Amino acid sequence: MLRQFLFLSLLLHVAYGQISIKNFVPFGTNHGDAMMARPIDAVTGPIHISIRFPFFDKWYDEIKLYSHGLILFGNITYVLPHSPPGPFPLRNFVCAAPYWADTNIAQDASSNIFYRQVTDEDTLIEISSMVRNGFPLLSAHRMLWAFVATWYRVPGHMTDPGRNTYQAIITTNGLYSFTLFTYNQLQWSAGLWGGFPQIGFNAGDQVNYFTLEKSFTANVITVVQDSNIGVPGQFIFHTTGNISDVQCNSTEGLQSSPFRGSMYGGYELRLFGICFNESSYIVEINGQELENCELTTVYLTCTMPMVSEGRLQIRLFTSERRLIGQTDFLAFMPENNADLILSNNGELDTSAHIREDQRLNLLFQKNALTTNYLFRIIIYDYSIQQFIANGTFYNQTMQQIDLGLGALNLSAIRNLTINYESIFPIDSEPRDRVHSLGISFELVPQSATSKSFTWKGATKFLVRPFIVPDVLFSSYCPAWLELQSDTNTQNLINKVPACPCRVSTTWDEEQLGFNTDPACNARKSGLWNCRFHRGAKGCYRRKSLTSDAGAQCCYDNNGVWINDWRSGAGTIDAYYPETLKNLSTYQHFFSDVLSYFSCCGGVTEFTSNCEKYMKHRPPGRCENLLPAPTGGQGDPHFLTLAGSSYTFNGHGEYTLLESLDGQLEIQVRLARVVNESAPPSSVSSMDNATAIVAFVIHSEDQPRVQFELFSQLQLVEIRIDERVLEFTPFSEEDELLSSSLIYSDDYQLIIRQRDAKTYSISYGESGIQFIVYLRPQFDFLDLVSLIPRINTDKRQFQGILGGFDGLAYANGTRVPITSNDDQALFNYGESWRTTSNASLFYYRFQDSHAQHQDLTYRPTFLRDLFDKYTNTSRYRLAEEVCQNLTQRQQCMYDVLITNDPTVNQMHQHYETTLQAWDEYIELVEQDEENDKTTTTKSPKNAASKYSVNKIWATIILLAMIIAHK
């Protein structure tokens, strides 16, 4: 009776040739499935698969399907036995065995074995999300290919009326492979073979194999209720490499994904890396217990709560509070990006508003974003008090408030008043409490199902005002001035990094390790931009390496440093804002912002107090920073530190540059270019080309930064030490979004995505910066390094890029720069091949230093290549597309060897980048000349400018005072 019911309910799912079963990938002839032949012991012919499939350290491009519940890998000549040869391991028999049993579909026409290769995007996304349930980190990249086999209502080789329905999937994202078994209904186990089925897999090497415990028992049919990922009937195994990684690790290695995120919380936090064998756990983040965590056997998910900024510790306990593991989490205050939402964003953000004014007015933009989308407003309220006399903070609180306004059409309401009373009780608050608000505008999903709803990658827009009691506002300046002393100020000045006397007027988001100051950004305009630095075109900041202080450097239209605050100069910060240090936002606010507002912005005798403020927060000093641009591009051509250029295209991993003091080292991986569009077996002309495909940077005590291109996957993977950096990739439409910061570690290491194909990596105090450009095809990568020339006598370099005085082997033997001897230069490059012990690269499973070394590769030298193609159409094409370039021969070499004229665009991009730096360097050199000839250094800004700016400043201050009344 029960069986009939099951049978019926299964039939109900059957539409003609199209069957849907819970947790199965859709299958049936309507989905393009083939059906297996009916004779018993049927095996398909070799199925040539469209990807190289990794399975336990070997690659396969051919599989077969066996009716008795097996997927076979490779060209197995083994005569398949009628009765199975026993438990795994089995030598030279490579298979995944969802249900190796005596199956016979000959006797029942309604039973079928379906199979197909899956390459359509929707199904791959579905499979990817299944895999993600089991292996969230390994499956960050979507599956590229899968093979799905479905045993549908298959009978055994007996008169038993039972039917079995299960599905097996093998899938890979190009890096990792996974095997999924999903059981819907198992009604029989024994066949005529005698004995019971086996479930598992076997790599054929006697080492890597796995047999599910219930195999070889009648009880095996109960696996429909079991799971290794918390989904009844489903098992997922990671089958790329080592058998010990097939399931989870129970001893150590707790990790979180993401490992850094907004202090406002609200996103999913996954803990993984160890087995979760207990039935329940306690998760704490800096002592705060998380609620609503959900557990599967391989990961635990929680919702990130609101936390304070800084380096926090996640700790995992059993329900008896035994500590199991811990890992760090970096919580940061997200960047302000409400420009697109608010027209008065600049007035509100990071500035002091008086509590007694009782309210904030938000004025909304009318644009595509605010017109076409609805927003929910959430307020994150952090508050604190400070003992001004000794700077100690106390009574810190945090709370999240939904004003209950629902989904708002901001362009329709135009403006909104937020009363402080709706956030905290104004009257009963302690007299000195300061609130740091994060007013967040969150996109409301159009339907409940679209979970990760974004607008060009953004889900939230944020403005961050401070609310200060009037009494604190008016009394703070004298109290603050009391605490300042000339000695302290001098100490502060000494600690703050010197500003570059000039910046490039490309106004990039970072220059020489300095970052754009969001409150005075040369790329922005508007009344509120640079309102505290009238006269400046843009400002940059940099944190000190040795203290909490930071420089603020402001520049005029020509990129020249301003040294007088009346003309818009910057003011040094005793506390650099928004670092990953606990309370850094408040530290900065009290020591550098509130003091400014209180001394310069709110009291009648602002002139004298403001001058005193400026005396203790001077602009700092400037020095001429001369960067040396070097790098590698194309089929790689290197520009050396000494300014010459040569081609080196070995295949392997090499030291690109290392400082003799051991503080900086960059290694690159050069490899054959993989041509995606060429059929696998054909020899394409690309095969002769060499590209920079990966690099890793180690700088002082900062984490290592690794970039790795996977052209077949069309992706670049960025790692910070061994951890994959998760970020929303930039799309072409994202230019409107102001934020491109994808990593910052206490502002000494900053990674930004400048546009869809350009990244920058900058190292604060050292001023070292890298610009990375990816070809849209994800096959070539350009790397420009900017190494400051200061202290060159102290800092010596070697490697492929040589030193400031030219190329030299590690033993000191010099290579003549004028050498035209390609072979000698090739030998020179080869001498910088790294050893496996010295490698800085992080290697995934199956990957190793050895894997990337091709010692047999002999390059085609320029002259030979030119000789080969002279007078051909390819040569003429190369000449034509490269004609306007300075390094024309290099460009032609690349076009000839790849037969791809579009590589000239990389050369153009590279030359433009270098040109901008060369122009900048020229200007700095001129400045240096001028400084030498002028004995007394005159202020950079004339007096006439001073008076104009003073009037401006007065108008602004008056406007502010009026606004406060």
Ligand X SMILES: *[C@@H]1O[C@H](CO)[C@@H](O)[C@H](O)[C@H]1NC(C)=O
Site of interaction with ligand X (CB under 6 A): 75, 77, 244, 249, 251-253, 385, 387, 389-390, 392, 395, 430
CA pair distance 83, 64, nearest whole angstrom: 18
Contact, 4 vs 17, CB < 8 A? no
CA pair distance 689, 592, nearest whole angstrom: 54
- Residue with Cβ nearer ligand X (77 or 447): 77
Structure tokens at 705: 């930064």
Tell me the three-class secondary structure of 359-419, residue by residue: EEEEEECCCHHHHHCCEEEEEEEEEEEEECCCCEEEEEEEEEEECCCCCECHHHHCEEEEE
Structure tokens at 539: 């400002």
- Residue with Cβ nearer ligand X (86 or 430): 430
Q: How many Cβ atoms are within 10 Å of 545's Cβ, its own excluded?
A: 16
Which residues, including other chains, have CB under 8 Å from residue 496's CB and lie 6 or more apart? 544, 549, 550, 551, 572, 573, 620
Which residues, including other chains, have CB under 8 Å from residue 768's CB and lie 6 or more apart? 513, 664, 699, 762, 785, 786, 787, 788
Provide, rounded to whole angstroms, the least separation between the CB of residue 770 and ligand X.
30
Tell how strand 645-647 and strand 652-659 pair up.
unpaired
Provide, rounded to whole angstroms, the least separation between the CB of residue 584 and ligand X.
18
Helices (H), 558-697: 584-588, 594-596, 606-616
Structure tokens at 777: 């095809």
CA pair distance 347, 704, nearest whole angstrom: 38
- In Å, how far are 243, 411, 470, 478, 579 from 467, measured between CA atoms? 57, 26, 9, 20, 21
Helices (H), 63-177: 121-134
Q: Which residues pair with 440 in a beta bridge?
A: 378, 462
- Residue with Cβ nearer ligand X (47 or 957): 47
Provide, rounded to whole angstroms, the least separation between the CB of residue 725 and ligand X.
20
CA pair distance 184, 834, nearest whole angstrom: 52
CA pair distance 452, 454, nearest whole angstrom: 6
Provide, rounded to whole angstroms, the least separation between the CB of residue 437 and ligand X.
17
Closest to 424 in 3D by CA, of 470, 376, 469: 469
Which residue do the tokens 């990961």 mark? 299
- Residue with Cβ nearer ligand X (395 or 558): 395
> CA dihedral defined by 422, 423, 429, 431, rounded to 10 degrees?
-110
Which residue do the tokens 């401070």 mark? 466
Q: How many Cβ atoms are within 10 Å of 269's Cβ, its own excluded?
A: 22
Contact, 563 vs 571, CB < 8 A? no
Provide, rounded to whole angstroms, the least separation between the CB of residue 687 and ligand X.
22
Provide, rounded to whole angstroms, the least separation between the CB of residue 591 and ligand X.
16
Provide, rounded to whole angstroms, the least separation between the CB of residue 388 and ligand X.
9
- Residue with Cβ nearer ligand X (222 or 396): 396
Provide, rounded to whole angstroms, the least separation between the CB of residue 75 and ligand X.
4
Query: 3-state DSSP call for residue 2?
Result: helix
Contact, 324 vs 317, CB < 8 A? yes
Provide, rounded to whole angstroms, the least separation between the CB of residue 206 and ligand X.
19
- Residue with Cβ nearer ligand X (392 or 856): 392
- Residue with Cβ nearer ligand X (363 or 388): 388
- Residue with Cβ nearer ligand X (126 or 470): 470
DSSP string, 742-796: EEEETTTEEEEEEETTEEEEEETTTTEEEEEEE-TTSS-EEEEEEEE-TTTTT--
Query: 3-state DSSP call for residue 771?
Result: strand
Provide, rounded to whole angstroms, the least separation between the CB of residue 722 and ligand X.
10
Provide, rounded to whole angstroms, the least separation between the CB of residue 251 and ligand X.
5
- Residue with Cβ nearer ligand X (75 or 494): 75
- Residue with Cβ nearer ligand X (385 or 753): 385
Provide, rounded to whole angstroms, the least separation between the CB of residue 449 and ligand X.
38
> Phi first, then psi: what are they for 905, rounded to 5°?
-65, -35
- Residue with Cβ nearer ligand X (47 or 231): 47
Contact, 667 vs 694, CB < 8 A? no
CA pair distance 785, 502, nearest whole angstrom: 19
CA pair distance 653, 655, nearest whole angstrom: 7
- Residue with Cβ nearer ligand X (722 or 864): 722
Provide, rounded to whole angstroms, the least separation between the CB of residue 181 and ligand X.
22
CA pair distance 541, 543, nearest whole angstrom: 7
In the DSSP assignment, the letter for residue 81 is P
- Residue with Cβ nearer ligand X (202 or 383): 383
- Residue with Cβ nearer ligand X (431 or 876): 431
Provide, rounded to whole angstroms, the least separation between the CB of residue 60 and ligand X.
11
Provide, rounded to whole angstroms, the least separation between the CB of residue 395 and ligand X.
4
- Residue with Cβ nearer ligand X (48 or 876): 48
- Residue with Cβ nearer ligand X (51 or 891): 51
Provide, rounded to whole angstroms, the least separation between the CB of residue 310 and ligand X.
19
Q: Report angle CA 848, 852, 856 to the nearest 5 degrees.
A: 140
- Residue with Cβ nearer ligand X (384 or 694): 384
CA pair distance 410, 377, nearest whole angstrom: 10
Provide, rounded to whole angstroms, the least separation between the CB of residue 392 and ligand X.
4
Structure tokens at 687: 């095969």
